[in-house]
Amino acid sequence: MGDTGLPASDVDRIEAWRLLITTQRRLIDRLGDELSSKFDLPIEWYDVLLHLYEADHQQLRMHELAESLLVSRSALTRFIDKVEEAGLVERLPADEDGRGTYVTLTASGLETFKDAGRFHRKGILELFGKHLTDDEVEALRTGLRRVLDND
């Protein structure tokens, strides 16, 4: 990294950050290519299906989905238009206040998610999981949770 004037421990942390970002980008690209070629499912759509699958009643309000996906509401609206056109999700009015909108999995979306999910999990384990020991996985989980909890 050259002479940064930083303590070695800080240089190590910056290198760890760069490795995390590079690894994440490469693996997301690989996993996304695999989902797209096998299921005609962009990885961003898979992420929507995952968040809905894990939610109560497999539905979320638009603002909740936007927060969980880390996107703006306006960007999500345009994005969900495409996923809805594909028949994987549908929008329903919120009964409790009549103003909000829920996004929910359709039967086709659920089936697609389950099929793609089995394949995707195998890919994660093959490309990522098999390279780490149990202790390394636990250290990584602990460290990343701490970062997120203090963000």
**pLDDT tens-place string over residues 76-130:** 999 999 999 999 999 999 877 777 899 999 999 999 999 999 999 999 999 999 9
Could you give the CA distance from residue 42 to residue 120 in angstroms, rounded to a whole number?
12
Enclosing H/E stretch for 97: none
Tell me which CATH code domain 9-132 carries: 1.10.10.10
Could you give the CA distance from residue 112 to residue 109 in angstroms, rounded to a whole number?
5
Confidence of residue 60 (pLDDT cuts 50, 70, 90): very high
Exposed/middle/buried for 135, CB within 10 Å: 0-12, 13-18, 19+? exposed
Instruction: Provide the angle, in degrees to the nearest 10, between the axes of the packed helices 62-69 and 43-54.
Output: 120
pLDDT tens-digit map of 113-125: 999 999 999 999 9
Write down the pTM of the prediction. Answer: 0.87
Average pLDDT over residues 62-67: 95
Could you give the CA distance from residue 76 to residue 57 in angstroms, rounded to a whole number?
20
